[in-house]
Amino acid sequence: MIKVVNLNKFYDDKHVLKDINIEIEDGEVVALIGPSGSGKSTLIKCIDFLEEPTSGEIYVDGENIALSGKDIYKIRQNIGMVFQHFNLFPHKTVLENITLAPVLTGKMSKKEAENKAIELLKKMDLLDKIDSYPDSLSGGQKQRIAIARSLAMEPKIMLFDEATSALDPEMVGEVLKVMKDLAEEGMTMIVVTHEMAFAREVADRVIFMADGQIVEENTAVELFENPQNPRTKEFLSKVL
Amino acid sequence: MGILNLLIDYKYYYLTGIKITIALSFFSLIIGTTLGALLSLLRLSKFKIPKAVATAYIEVIRGTPMMVQIALVYFGSYVLMGVDMNTFLAALIAVSLNSAAYVAEIIRSGIQSVDKGQWEASKSLGLTNVQTMRYIILPQAVKNILPALGNEFVTLIKETSVASTIGVLDLMHASKIVQSNSYKAFEPLVIVAAIYFILTFTLSKLVGILERRLSYHD
């Protein structure tokens, strides 16, 4: 599904991603954990080509996205992304937020997109907010709408960039539940998170990153119960 | 009452002046805003040369007086190209080119004021750069810059008075004619100030209505 080969990323002189290699199978849920500034967010933004890698290759469904040129727009349609700060479109209603991309990209007719939006909003238990503007919603509601907006494009993979970090504590649960349901439905997911309990419960595999490198990766149980690298041990001892 | 009599006696001059000032303002506003929007996109583009040209243009226009610009267009067209240009056309070109520079800076700041996350979200959904600009960034930018744009339009109306210096028969020119014909220095100026105020006040009220229309939340 996703294959990252020798990915490097520099910001000027700063080496933020160092020789990253990852392979993610269809239906797999991978949690990316690690201290702030370790390059987790940059990595998943590279996978969506929102950040341009300095060197290395990224394959989505076998296609090298760096060489895709104009087709990057098509590839992105298959990759959903959920952001820390939601990034809903404030000048559009909830319905318009969800239907905008499927209609503009020609994926669905307006009617089809609206039906899809209603179906997703029902699932998120937010159908009553269909005509609201984002500013009138709580953080948890905003993030669930943002997830619905991504799912409306029927992506093959979902990327979550610290989707619960900007939420009030009492709203974290509702968003994590949506993510967990999604994982159980078989969605391929890469989740950058600070929620260790979630990573442990939901992820098939956990990758620990520090200083732009993958330090350790293993099944969730193994990585949390039996970390090998001293850097992983140190990190886990602080956050668990 | 002297002022009322002046207004009645010279109403032909005033009406002509109002028509010309409104026409000059209206067309310069349309042309200037269109050019300004294009300039702002050049200024924000990744391509070095268009960006440098746009930046230089904006700096030169903002750094020189409109009165000089208008004379340069009028006399320059004759000296450089041998064209005996219509004064109204010369004023229209100069005011439009001048306004474009200011509008470009306003639009640029508006586009840059939209959160970077909006670009990321839109692109992550598979929209192209042009679609993102058209449906996500510009609508938010326009809302942010309306007050500044309204301010620029008010300035533009007032600045058209400089056209009288090359002989355009605008409101300011009408006032000068009335001054010399009536031998009164003060009253015609009061009249012309009041008329300019009515024009600009109406415009800023219209912009205010538009602003309220566009405030989607709160």
User: Cα B215 vs. chain centroid, distance in angstroms?
Assistant: 24
User: Residue A211, SS3?
Assistant: coil
The Cα–Cα gap between B17 and B7 comes to: 12
HSE (side-chain half, CA atoms, 13 Å) at A42: 24
Domain count, chain B: 1
Q: What's the whole-number mean pLDDT along residues B5-31?
A: 93
Give me chain A's average pLDDT, please: 93
Backbone angles phi, psi at A42, to 5 degrees: -60, -40
The predicted-structure confidence for B100-147, as pLDDT tens digits, reads as follows 999 999 999 999 999 999 999 999 999 999 999 999 999 999 889 999
- The count of other CB atoms within 10 Å of the CB of residue B86 is 12
The Cα–Cα gap between B139 and B135 comes to: 7
Amino acid A176 reads: L
User: Cα A189 vs. chain centroid, distance in angstroms?
Assistant: 7
> Helix (H) and strand (E) counts for chain A?
9, 10
Question: Which of B120, B131, B143 comes nearest A50 by C-beta?
Answer: B120
Partner-chain contact A100 B125, CB within 8 Å:
yes
Q: In terms of residue numbers, what domain contains B86?
A: 3-217
Q: What confidence tier does A153 reach under pLDDT thresholds 50, 70, 90?
A: very high
Amino acid B197 reads: F
Q: What confidence tier does A239 reach under pLDDT thresholds 50, 70, 90?
A: confident
Q: Is the pLDDT of residue A4 over 70?
A: yes
In chain B, the percentage of residues whose pLDDT exceeds 90 is: 83
Partner-chain contact A87 B120, CB within 8 Å:
yes
Q: Is the pLDDT of residue A68 over 80?
A: no
**Residues from chain A contacting residue B122 (CB–CB below 8 Å):** 89, 101
B122 Cβ under 8 Å from any chain A Cβ: yes
**pTM for this model (two decimals):** 0.83
Domain CATH number, residue B213: 1.10.3720.10
Backbone angles phi, psi at A163, to 5 degrees: -65, -20
> A53-67, A159-173, B26-40, B190-204 — which is least confidently predicted?
A53-67
ipTM > 0.90 (yes/no)? yes
How far from each other are the two terminal CA atoms of chain B, in whole angstroms?
Answer: 50
